[in-house]
Amino acid sequence: MPQCELSLGDGMIPTENKLSFNQYIKEKPIKWGVKTFILCESTSGYIVNAEVYTGKVDSDPSYISSLGVTRSLVARLCKPSQGQYYCVFTDQFYMSQTL
């Protein structure tokens, strides 16, 4: 069981492969790679849940229209921990009052 404090963020897995979902993000230290969204235990860095960004999906069944794309992602990653009194830390990009 992870500790009660979790951290949600994104990162790049560096790769030189010719994957269709490789990303280029000039603000990141690793500019080319596979973009991932990760929910980790805050103290140890243990990965609790993760999702690889593979591009926009038109008919995503986990999409919640009232939350939007980014906040639906947060809801998906946190769903296994929901109702178990975890505290999730993240930056303002992922948060909203609705969420």
Q: Is residue 97 part of a domain?
A: no
Q: Is residue 82 part of a domain?
A: yes
Question: How far is residue 60's CA from residue 51's CA, in Å, rounded to a whole number?
Answer: 14
Q: Is residue 15 part of a domain?
A: yes
Q: Tens digits of per-residue pLDDT, 23-63?
A: 777 887 887 888 888 899 988 889 888 888 877 666 666 66
Question: Dihedral (C-alpha) 59, 52, 12, 17: value to the nearest 10 degrees?
Answer: -100
Task: Please give the residue that has the higher pLDDT: either 8 or 99.
Answer: 8
Question: How far is residue 22's CA from residue 2's CA, in Å, rounded to a whole number?
Answer: 30
pLDDT score for 77: 84
Q: What pTM was computed for the model?
A: 0.74
Q: Is residue 25 part of a domain?
A: yes
Tally the domains of the chain: 1
pLDDT score for 81: 79
Q: Is residue 96 part of a domain?
A: no
Has residue 79 got a pLDDT over 70? Answer: yes
Question: How far is residue 36's CA from residue 12's CA, in Å, rounded to a whole number?
Answer: 6
Q: Which domain holds residue 36?
A: 5-91
pLDDT score for 10: 83
